[in-house]
Amino acid sequence: MTSFSGIFTGCATASVIALWFAEAGRDIERVQRARSAISVGKLSGAVGTFAHLPPEIEADVCRRLGLEPAAVASQVIQRDRHAEALTALAITGASLEKFALEIRGLQKTEIGEVEEPFAQGQKGSSAMPHKRNPIGCEQVVGLARLLRGNAHAALENVALWHERDISHSSVERVILPDSFIVLDHMLRRFTRIVRGMVVNADRMRENLNRSRGVVFSGTVLLELAKKGVSREQAYEWVQRSAMRSFDEHRDFKALLLSDPEVTRVLSASEVERAFDLDEQLKHVDHIFDRVFHPVRA
Amino acid sequence: MTSFSGIFTGCATASVIALWFAEAGRDIERVQRARSAISVGKLSGAVGTFAHLPPEIEADVCRRLGLEPAAVASQVIQRDRHAEALTALAITGASLEKFALEIRGLQKTEIGEVEEPFAQGQKGSSAMPHKRNPIGCEQVVGLARLLRGNAHAALENVALWHERDISHSSVERVILPDSFIVLDHMLRRFTRIVRGMVVNADRMRENLNRSRGVVFSGTVLLELAKKGVSREQAYEWVQRSAMRSFDEHRDFKALLLSDPEVTRVLSASEVERAFDLDEQLKHVDHIFDRVFHPVRA
Amino acid sequence: MTSFSGIFTGCATASVIALWFAEAGRDIERVQRARSAISVGKLSGAVGTFAHLPPEIEADVCRRLGLEPAAVASQVIQRDRHAEALTALAITGASLEKFALEIRGLQKTEIGEVEEPFAQGQKGSSAMPHKRNPIGCEQVVGLARLLRGNAHAALENVALWHERDISHSSVERVILPDSFIVLDHMLRRFTRIVRGMVVNADRMRENLNRSRGVVFSGTVLLELAKKGVSREQAYEWVQRSAMRSFDEHRDFKALLLSDPEVTRVLSASEVERAFDLDEQLKHVDHIFDRVFHPVRA
Amino acid sequence: MTSFSGIFTGCATASVIALWFAEAGRDIERVQRARSAISVGKLSGAVGTFAHLPPEIEADVCRRLGLEPAAVASQVIQRDRHAEALTALAITGASLEKFALEIRGLQKTEIGEVEEPFAQGQKGSSAMPHKRNPIGCEQVVGLARLLRGNAHAALENVALWHERDISHSSVERVILPDSFIVLDHMLRRFTRIVRGMVVNADRMRENLNRSRGVVFSGTVLLELAKKGVSREQAYEWVQRSAMRSFDEHRDFKALLLSDPEVTRVLSASEVERAFDLDEQLKHVDHIFDRVFHPVRA
C-alpha cells in the first residue's frame, strides 16, 4: 500500500493502513470536539444582557435544541468556535488528501500497485480508452484546497468589531454549508474508493525486486557498524555498491559479496541475514497492537 | 469597555471583559490540546518498522523527553498534529486580534473610552506630538495575520507523498519557531496593555447620553408589544421618534411622551420604566457567575 | 470623508476619495490584465501535441471565441493564469473592503460623519428600531474574506502533477463562479452605497473642533523647529500643551499662547498662522490634478 | 521530461520544457509589473496633503531613489500594491513548485526518467546509502507554501483603517524580506537543479514500451471514427483490447489485429499507422516556434 520509490517500504505496507487508521481517529476526535464547540446557543438579547428575557428561557430553548447555553455572549456567539470547527474540517480534508495522494501515486502506470475501483464499462478518459485515471482521488485532493480556503476565511471571521459586527454573516452563508457538504462528499467518495480499491501484491513484490536489493542497504550499513567499521567508512562502502547496482543494473548483494573490503568484515551468511525481509518485519505486530488495540492508562 | 456605536451596550461593559475571559479560556484549552497533539516522538527507523531498534528503546527515549511514542509512524510524525497546533495558535491570535481591535476602536478620539497605556515622555507619533496611537494593539492585530498565513502553510504540509516526503521540513523551519515566538510576543504585549489600559468611565457615560436615549428603543418596542400592539406597528412608532431624535437632536423619551399614539398605550411611568438602566443590568451577575464560577456537571 | 480619530485629517477629506479613485484604477488594470491572462484556448489534444487536429483548427476556433491560442499546453491550460485572475479579484475585493471599512468607521454613532443610504421604512435592526447599521458595508467587508480564501485555493491549483492532473477541476467548479459572482455583487452593492451615502459635513467640522486644536500640533512643531528650537525640545513643549488640552478639556492654542517657553520663540501671529486650515490645504488641487488629470509621459 | 503515467506523453517530452519556459516568461512579466507597482514613494506628510513640504521635494527625492511619486497617498503607500507584489511572488513560487513536483515524480525509483544532480560523495539519506532523494525539489515545493501564506497575509494588509493604520507594519517586517529571500533562494536552487539534472532517455523509452502500446489507443479510436464507427462503439472496442493488454500483459496492437470487429473496419496497415510515433510528433516544431520564436503582432 505504499510506493517503493527508492526507499525500502515493502515491509511498511500494512503500517500505512495502520497510519491512516490512527490519523482518521485523530480527525474524528477533532471534529467531535469542534462539534461540541459550536453546539452552543444564546437567547440573551441584542447585547447579551438578558434585558428582555430571563436566562431560564435561554436554558430551556437550548436544552430542547441539544445546545449548551454560551456562558457569555454579545449579539452573537463568538466566532473562535466556528474557526475551530472549520480548521478541524480542513485538517480532516488534508488527511483525506494525503490518503488520496498515496493512491494516485501508486496508480501511476509505472508503479501500478494500487488502483481506484473502476467499473466495467466506465470511461476513464474520453479521449484515451486505455486510461484508468484516479479521478476520485484527484477530486478528493482538490477539494481539500477548498476546505483550507474556507478555514482561512473562518479564521478571519473571529475578529469582529465590538465582538459582534455581522461581517461574518455573508461569509458563513457560503463557507459553513460548503465546508460540511464538501467534507461529507469527500468522506463518502473516499470510503467507496478504499472499499473497492485493487491492491496488486504481485506488482508490489515485482517493484521491490526491481530495486535489485538496494532497499536493504540501511541494514547492511548497520551490520558493518556493529562490526566496528566507522559509520563514514561503512557508508562509503555501501553507497559504492548501491550506486553500481543502480547504474549497471546489477544485483546489490552480489556486488557486496564481491567487494573485498566488505567481505573482510562480514561473512557471506552475515550479508545474507541483512537481506532477510522477515527480520525487517518482526515488530509489525507490535505496531498493529498499539494502533488497533491501544491500552488506555 | 465597549463602544456604544449606535447600540445600547452601556450595560454590556463588564460583559465584554467576561466574554474575553471566556474566549481566552477556550484558547488555552485549544493550545493545551495542541501541545499534547505534538508531544509525541518516534524512533522506529526510516520507514517506521523498528527494523534496527526495538520499540523498548523508543519508549525509553520518549519517556525521558516527556513525549508519548506515536502509535505508528512513517519516517516522520504525521503532520496533522502540527496543523492542529498551528491552527490553535492562529485562533488564539485571532482572539487577541479581536480584543486589540476593540481597544483601537474605543481609543479613537471621538469615542475616547479606553486607551492603551501611554508612558510619560513616550512619543505616540514623531510628526504629531498630540497623538496617542494604539500602536501596541495595531501590532497585535497585524501579527494575527502572520499566524493565519503560517497556519495555512501548516495545513498544506499535511499531505506528504507516501506519508513521508520531506517537503514540510523547509516550511517548518520558518513557521514553527515564528508562530510560537510571535504568539508569545502578542500575549506578553497584550497583557501589558490590558494591565495598564486607561478606562474613561465618564466618557462612556457621556457617549451613552449623547444618544439622547435611543439606546432604550428596543425596550420601548417590547413594552408596546406587551400591551398588544403588533410588532410592525410598534416598530414604526418607535423608529419614527428615534429617527427624529437623531435628525433633530431631540430627546427620545420626550418625543415618545409627545406622541399620542404611544401615550394612548403606555402611561408616562411605563415609558419611564423602559429607560431604567438597572432593569437592563439585572442579569449581569448571573452572567458573571456562569463565566467566573462555572458549575461543572 | 475620513475620520479625525486623533489625527489631523480634516484637510484630507477629499484626498480620500481621490485615493479610492486611484486604487480602483489600479484594480481595474489588474482585473483587465487577469482577464487577458485567462482568455486563452487550446485544442491541441490530450497531451498538447496536436496529434489528431492541426493547429489551424485551434486558431480558427479560438478566434471565433475571442481567445488567444495558448502557445503551449498540456491536457489543460496552465493554472498560473487562473491564479493571477483570482488574486486580482481578491485584491479588488480587499480594496472594496478598505473603502467599506472606512464608511463603517465613520458611521459609528460617536463619529457620525458618513452614513450608508438608508431608505425610509427600512429596518436597520429587528430588535432596535433606532439603529442604522452599515449592513451593506459589513457584507462587502465579509465577502472580501471569501475572495481571499478562493484565491488561496487557486494558488494551490497551480502545481498539478505532470502539468495536467485534474485535481483543480473540482475546486474551480466552486471558486471560479463564486469569485466572479461575489465580486460582481460587491461592486454593485458598493456602487449603490457610494452613490447614496450621506455625508455630514457639519459633523466633520464639529468632530474636528472637538479636538480643541491639537490636530495642528504638527504644524506648531515645525514652526518652532524653523526658529531653531531642537526637535526634541519642540516636541516636549508641544506635547505638554497637547496633553493638557486632552486631559483638562482646554483649548490647545490658548495653552500654547500661555506657555512662556513657546511665546519666547513664536509671536502670537506666528502661532495663529500654524492653525490656518487653508495653509494645510494649499496643495490639495495639485493632488487632484495628479489623480484625475494625470499627464502621461 | 514527463512521466508516462498511464498517458501517452512520450511525444510531449520536449513540450514540457517549452511549457515551463512559457510559464516562466509569464512569471517574469508578473514580477516585473509587481516591481513597478511597488516602486512608488511619497513625502507628502502625515495625512498626504503636503502640509509642510511642497510636492517638488517629493518629486526630487523620488527621482533620486528611482521611484515614481504616488499620485495620492495617506500616511502610507496603499497596500494593494504590496499585495500585488506578494501574490506575484507566490504565483512564481507555485510555478517552481509545479516544475519541482514533476522532477520528484520522475525521480521515483519505479519511473527513474529524471534525477536531480547528485554529486559524487553526496549523502542522499543518512540511514539509507542507496538513496538519491530529490531533496532540492522537495525544498522548492515546501517553500512555495510559505510564499502562499505570506501572500495571504499581504492580502489581509490591504484594508487598513482610514487607509492608514499601521497594523501592516509588523506583518511586513516578516513577510516582505522573507518572501523575496525565499523566492530568490528557490530560483537559484532550481536553476542549479535544471542545469545539472540527469535525463534518462533510455528509461523513458523503456517506460513507454512497458505500456505495450496502449498509449496509442486514442489514435486508434480516431481512426475507427474516421471510418464511420460511432464513437461509443469505437470506444468499447478499443477499451476492450486496452484492458486485456493491461490485465493479461499482452501487446495492444496484436490484440487489436486479432479482434475481428476492428479488422473488419481497419486494415493492418491502418492499424500500424495509428502506432506511428512520428505522426504523433509532427506538430512539435510548430509548438516550439510559437514558444521560442513568438511573432509579435
Chain C residues in contact with B238 by the CB 8 A cut-off are 129-130
- Tell which of A2, A80, A217, A238 to mutate to test the B interface (max B CBs under 10 Å): A80
Option in A7, A27, A94 nearest B159 (CB): A94
Q: Do A175 and C146 touch (CB under 8 A)?
A: yes
pLDDT at B127: 64
Q: Does B275 touch chain C (CB under 8 A)?
A: no
pLDDT at D210: 82
Q: What angle do CA D148, D151, D155 make, to 5 degrees?
A: 140
User: Which of D73, C182, B71, B20 lies closest to A290 in space, CA to CA?
Assistant: B71
pLDDT at C18 over 50: yes
Option in D143, D161, D165 nearest B170 (CB): D143
Pair B18, B292: CB distance under 8 Å: yes
Option in A8, A111, A245 nearest D110 (CB): A111
Chain A residues in contact with D3 by the CB 8 A cut-off are 108, 110
pLDDT at C267 over 90: yes
With a CB cutoff of 8 Å and minimum separation 6, the contacts of C255 are C241, C244, C245
Q: Which whole-number Å values give the CA distances from C206 to B36, C14, C157, D144, D165, in the listed order?
A: 56, 17, 52, 51, 23
pLDDT at C243: 87
What count of other Cβ atoms lies within 10 Å of the Cβ of residue B181? 10
pLDDT at D100: 97
Do strands D114-115 and D68-69 pair parallel, antiparallel, or not at all (unpaired)? unpaired
Give the chain A residue nearest C153 (alpha carbons): A145
| Residue labelled with grid coordinates 504540509 | B157
Q: Do A71 and B148 touch (CB under 8 A)?
A: no
pLDDT at D120: 62
Pair B185, B143: CB distance under 8 Å: yes
Residue A225 and residue A229: Cα distance in Å, rounded?
5
pLDDT at A124 over 90: no
User: Which of B165, D121, B51 lies closest to A221 in space, CA to CA?
Assistant: B51
Average the pLDDT over each of B64-68, B219-223, C126-130, D91-95 and give the range with the smallest value: C126-130
B84-123: pLDDT as tens digits? 999 999 999 999 999 999 999 999 988 989 999 976 666 6
pLDDT at B4: 33
Chain C residues in contact with D94 by the CB 8 A cut-off are 80, 83, 155-156, 158-159
Chains in contact with A, where contact means 3 or more Cβ–Cβ distances below 8 Å, are B, C, D
Count the residues in chain A: 297
Averaged pLDDT for residues A128-144: 87
Averaged pLDDT for residues C266-279: 91
Give the chain A residue nearest B5 (alpha carbons): A162
Averaged pLDDT for residues A172-197: 97
Averaged pLDDT for residues C164-176: 96
**Mean pLDDT of chain C, nearest integer:** 89
Q: Does A20 touch chain D (CB under 8 A)?
A: no
Chain C residues in contact with D284 by the CB 8 A cut-off are 49
Chain A residues in contact with B33 by the CB 8 A cut-off are 33
pLDDT at C211: 82
Pair D108, A5: CB distance under 8 Å: yes
Q: Which helix (H) or strand (E) holds C199?
A: strand C198-199
Residue C198 has what DSSP assignment? E
Copy the grid coordinates of residue B101: 481591535
User: Which of D52, A297, A72 lies closest to B294 in space, CA to CA?
Assistant: A72
Average the pLDDT over each of A49-63, B181-195, B200-214, D124-138 and give the range with the smallest value: D124-138
* SS3 of chain D: helix, strand, coil, percent, to 5: 65, 5, 30
Residue A109 and residue D204: Cα distance in Å, rounded?
13
**Mean pLDDT of chain B, nearest integer:** 89
Chains in contact with B, where contact means 3 or more Cβ–Cβ distances below 8 Å, are A, C, D
Secondary structure (3-state) at A282:
coil
Q: Do C153 and A146 touch (CB under 8 A)?
A: yes
Averaged pLDDT for residues C50-71: 94
Give the CA count within 13 Å in the CB-facing half-sphere of D27. 23
- List the 159-218 stretch of B: residues with Cβ below 8 A of C: 207, 210-211, 214-215, 217-218
Q: Do C91 and D80 touch (CB under 8 A)?
A: yes
Give the chain A residue nearest D129 (alpha carbons): A239
A196-240: pLDDT as tens digits? 998 888 888 888 888 889 889 989 998 999 999 999 999 999 999
pLDDT at A2: 33
Option in A5, A107, A133 nearest D108 (CB): A5
Pair A252, A239: CB distance under 8 Å: no
pLDDT at B10 over 90: no
Do strands D40-41 and D68-69 pair parallel, antiparallel, or not at all (unpaired)? parallel
Higher-confidence residue of B257 and B204: namely B257
**From the CA of B196, how many Å to the nearest CA of chain A?**
20
Q: Is B207 exposed, middle or buried (0-12, 13-18, 19+ CB in 10 A)?
A: buried
pLDDT at B95: 98
**From the CA of B102, how many Å to the nearest CA of chain A?**
6
Averaged pLDDT for residues C125-145: 85
Cα torsion C23, C27, C32, C38 to 10°: value is 160
Does ipTM come in above 0.95? no
Pair A26, B37: CB distance under 8 Å: yes
Q: Do B33 and A37 touch (CB under 8 A)?
A: no
pLDDT at B13: 53
- List the 73-132 stretch of D: residues with Cβ below 8 A of C: 73-74, 78, 80-81, 83-84, 87, 90-91, 94-95, 97-98, 101-102, 105
Residue D278 and residue B200: Cα distance in Å, rounded?
83
Option in D138, D142, D153 nearest B146 (CB): D153
Chain A residues in contact with D97 by the CB 8 A cut-off are none
| Residue labelled with grid coordinates 528611482 | D66
Q: Do D129 and A3 touch (CB under 8 A)?
A: no
pLDDT at A73 over 50: yes
Q: Do A52 and B219 touch (CB under 8 A)?
A: yes
Give the chain A residue nearest D119 (alpha carbons): A243
Q: Do A159 and B144 touch (CB under 8 A)?
A: yes
Q: Do D218 and A127 touch (CB under 8 A)?
A: yes
Give the chain C residue nearest D285 (alpha carbons): C49
pLDDT at A205: 86
Averaged pLDDT for residues A244-269: 93
pLDDT at A247: 83
Copy the grid coordinates of residue D244: 486485456
pLDDT at D79: 98
pLDDT at D150: 98
Residue C86 and residue C92: Cα distance in Å, rounded?
10
**From the CA of C122, how many Å to the nearest CA of chain B?**
10
Q: Does C158 touch chain D (CB under 8 A)?
A: yes
Q: Do B19 and A73 touch (CB under 8 A)?
A: yes
Q: Does D139 touch chain B (CB under 8 A)?
A: yes
Q: Which helix (H) or strand (E) holds C68?
A: strand C68-69
pLDDT at B238: 93
| CA–centroid distance for B241 within its chain | 34
**Mean pLDDT of chain A, nearest integer:** 89
Count the residues in chain C: 297
Q: Do B84 and A55 touch (CB under 8 A)?
A: no
**From the CA of D249, how many Å to the nearest CA of chain C?**
24
Give the chain A residue nearest C143 (alpha carbons): A171
Q: Phi, psi (5° rounding) for residue A137?
A: -65, -35
Intervals of chain D under pLDDT 70: 1-14, 119-131, 296-297
pLDDT at A126: 66
Q: Do C171 and A138 touch (CB under 8 A)?
A: no
Chain D residues in contact with A108 by the CB 8 A cut-off are 3, 5-6, 105, 108, 110-111
With a CB cutoff of 8 Å and minimum separation 6, the contacts of D225 are D231, D234
Count the residues in chain D: 297
pLDDT at C16: 83
pLDDT at D34: 94
Residue C159 and residue D99: Cα distance in Å, rounded?
8
Residue C138 and residue D163: Cα distance in Å, rounded?
17
